[in-house]
Chain A
Amino acid sequence: MSDTKKPFMNTTRRQALGLLALGASGVVMTGLPGFSRAFAQGTKDAKGQLTVGFSQEPTVFNPHMPHIEVDEGIHFSIFDPLFYVDEKGAFVAALAAEVPTVENGGISADGLSWKVKLRNDVKWHDGTPFTAEDVKFTLELLVDPNFRSWRKTGHEFVRELTVVSPTEITWKMEKPFAPYPSILASTFITPKHALGSAADRNTAPYNNAPIGTGPFKWKERVAGDYILLEANKDYFGAGPHIETLIYKYVPDLNVLYTQFKTGDIDVVGLQWITPDHYDEAKALEGKVVTVVPGSTVESFTLNMERPQFKDPKVRKALYHAIDKQSIIDALYYGLPTPTESYVPQQSFYYNPDLPKHEYSMEKAKALLDDAGWMPGADGIRAKDGVKLAFTCSTTAGNHIREQVQQYMQQSFKDLGIEMTISNLPPAVMWGDYWMLSKFDSVIVGLDFLTGPDPDTSDFFRSTSSAAKGGAGQNTWQFANKEVDDLLAKGGSLFVPEERKAAYFKIQEIMRAELPFLPLFQYATVRGHKQGVENVVFNINTRIDTWNVGSWTVS
């Protein structure tokens, strides 16, 4: 790590050279036996059938088009990136022969020149060899103005893409962009020969019958029901070990769990087992059920531009009035972990020394009295003509959250605060209502970090509020000069230990300012039947099947 420090001193943009360094360690790990996504050549022993249940339906199979996390379950089965992030946060080579780093010459010391060496033994599912042309095609497709590209971030800085040979590609970056390796780690390579020839790549037939290099091949899809994949016998890695892989769409979590119990489903995927079933599930015979931390943090989000919430004492009082422990213990069956930060507790950047939340109606009341919010004739507190009344919204149909809302509503009411519940269907909730900060308050679970990178400029920078003309997702309309400076500073540092200080401080400020009241970090109950091995949880990816190629079933 230390030897890559100096050349980056002058760069201005956020630099997470630590990632590049981590990548280097990943290269070392590829050779280790028993690794979760093994890529060593081996004999194919694919046999049997495995059914994974998802409670949402995967519908987008072109990984570069707008999609939701459940779609990535399919992407990880069919495609490979150049390299990916494993469960320890290290980069591991996939289609690339090695993870490009400064040490091995893959990335220039200034971060501007990239050279990626590729494997020469990879074939697409239709038999066509994989070459550097496919990588070039993919990186160009992502910024093609006629293509409904999922995300341009990072890719838009790529210039002078050059295919040196079928196994080598080089490019220049317009500016150094340290998060790029983590972005590339979730960029699946798509075939030029299959997708490139389509007149309109947005509606190409390819998008519904994808061809990849991954451990599984597309076989068939019955819309609204299931997707069936079969083993890619020519896979360049060690897997796959399963002959037939089925992704079943079960829209109801109770039915999903019931089908897991009856054995219709072998692995419970996305949305997993509901907390109320945990006690029963862990006692099930022949099933392995574990509680796994998620990267999502649930918060009670406030719109800082609302006059009620401008007073910091009101925000603190609200936080005191939330009976976090009862919510977690009774409504979530004690599974999630209470938290004071937006950073997942497994992260290197998590600040464990933030002040602990205290549930105290007395303190809440004292704070409000001090600040001059006095109950009016209707029992609702008010100050300077502003009533302490607001709406609270979340996605309609999320029953546990609706219960949390009602529980909070009662506590708030006891304090003389009127909270009205106004839940909305998802498409309304997360549209302009959320993005343009039209809400008073919202209960939401957010992944603040993209992969392992601690940068949260899109969420916290004062210029990131769409309601104020910004481009990010600072829907709190939070504006704090010190945080702005710290974000800039954290982005210009690159040694994890040095960055840490800046992000610890940001967490401290967010905890003190409370634009959102942190409730807890998610924990999910995952389950698979006994005999399914290598189902490993990875906090750096959004989906369970990130290493499905190395799963085995007995």
Chain B
Amino acid sequence: MSAATLPSSAASARPRWWQNRTIRRFARHKLAVIGLVMIVIMIFACVVGPHLLPYDELYIDLRARFAPPLTGSHIFGTDPLGRDIAARLFNAGRISLLVGFFAMVLSTLIGTVIGVVAGYYGGRVGAVLMRFVDAFLSFPSIFLLLALAAFVKPSPFMITVIIAVTSWMEIARLVEAEVRSLRERDFVLAARMLGLPNGWIMFRELLPNAVGPIIVAATLTVARAILLEAYISFLGYGIQPPLPSWGNMLNGAQQYLDKAPWLAIVPGVAITLAVTSFNFIGDGLRDALDARSDLN
């Protein structure tokens, strides 16, 4: 947004100009910093955790089923097949975080390309593309997600793709609006007169102006994607066992709610922590990238 109000022709100087201030502003945002720290800890735990635990996340031991937390070295207890929940939780975190991250990358790519193209060309191309965006937005995303999940092999890769396919629209809208508002500006007209190719103008001249909002939206998309994975896996259409994900650890937990509530509580807390952290970071980034926040 900041760059949008102060269009600079010196593209190369631009990043350095706002980077430091942004980081400073971000660092002042306590919640965002907390979020960032939590995410780093979680990623660390998911990467290192499984190697420290004495259990394999897939090892079934029917004699040890439904052990409550803190039984022996099962810090989070065991599931209905006697598998160690802590081991499953950390491995599930790898899957869930990766799905969230790559769904974000993919949906940001789709949304950005469609948004830039629609905004830059406008007219008929823009109208058609934006109607597509509207059409996708007209489905409640969970509907579309379930309908799609019903006919693909639910591997982590396909789940990532499906989540991306249902979450790119907001970024597309955002980018389209930004690009549309800029495309008649002097620097764009100048670039056109210089005979620069459209692709160059779109992605090198116009797109950098929308980077701020895109980063914010992308961070929030990670949070959303983790939630969506949890939803569809909870309903049984997502990541398939024995591969653990935070969502499918919850699938079936309702059945044992009375007897083994930790089955539901442990992964639920993990999801909430991860999603909250990403939302905090997104909020912090929004403030940090918004020049106006300095005025307050």
Count contacts on A: residues with CB < 8 A to the other chain.
Answer: 24
Contact, CB under 8 Å: A410 / B60: yes
Whether a CB of chain A sits under 8 angstroms from the CB of B132 is: no
Interface stretch among B30-38, B136-144, B249-257, B269-277? B249-257
Q: How far is the CB of A199 from chain B (nearest CB, A)?
A: 35
Whether a CB of chain A sits under 8 angstroms from the CB of B128 is: no
Whether a CB of chain A sits under 8 angstroms from the CB of B241 is: yes
Whether a CB of chain B sits under 8 angstroms from the CB of A512 is: no
Contacts of B153 in A (CB 8 A): 422
Contact A410 to B58, CB < 8 A, known contacts A330-B65, A402-B252: yes
The one of A254, A423, A428 in contact with B254, judged by C-beta atoms closer than 8 angstroms, is: A254
Contact A397 to B240, CB < 8 A, known contacts A406-B81, A410-B58: no
Contacts of A253 in B (CB 8 A): 255
Whether a CB of chain B sits under 8 angstroms from the CB of A396 is: yes
Contacts of B58 in A (CB 8 A): 410
- Tell me the residues in window 56-114 of chain B with beta carbons closer than 8 Å to chain A beta carbons: 58-60, 62, 65, 80-81
Chain A 400-425, CB within 8 Å of chain B: the 1/0 string?
00110111011000000000011101
- Tell me the residues in window 5-64 of chain B with beta carbons closer than 8 Å to chain A beta carbons: 58-60, 62
A395 to B, closest residue via Cβ: B236
- The A/B interface has a contact count, at CB < 8 Å, of 50
Bound CA span A252–B252, Å: 12
Contacts of B240 in A (CB 8 A): 421-423
The one of A252, A274, A403, A427 in contact with B80, judged by C-beta atoms closer than 8 angstroms, is: A403
B253 to A, closest residue via Cβ: A399
- Tell me the residues in window 337-383 of chain A with beta carbons closer than 8 Å to chain B beta carbons: none
Contacts of A397 in B (CB 8 A): 236
The one of B62, B81, B241, B257 in contact with A421, judged by C-beta atoms closer than 8 angstroms, is: B241
Q: How far is the CB of A193 from chain B (nearest CB, A)?
A: 43
Bound CA span A428–B240, Å: 16
- Tell me the residues in window 411-453 of chain A with beta carbons closer than 8 Å to chain B beta carbons: 421-423, 425, 427-428
Whether a CB of chain A sits under 8 angstroms from the CB of B168 is: no
Assuming A330-B62, A402-B241, A428-B150, what are 14 further A-B pairs, CB within 8 angstroms? Answer: A274-B255, A276-B256, A331-B80, A396-B237, A397-B236, A399-B80, A399-B255, A402-B252, A405-B241, A410-B58, A410-B59, A422-B153, A422-B240, A428-B151
* Sampled A-B contacts (25; CB under 8 Å): A252-B254, A254-B254, A254-B255, A276-B256, A326-B62, A330-B62, A331-B80, A397-B236, A399-B80, A399-B251, A403-B80, A403-B81, A405-B241, A406-B60, A406-B81, A406-B242, A407-B60, A407-B81, A410-B59, A421-B241, A423-B240, A425-B150, A425-B236, A427-B150, A428-B150
* Closest A-B pairs by Cβ, 8 of them: A397-B236, A399-B252, A330-B62, A396-B236, A406-B242, A410-B60, A425-B150, A403-B81
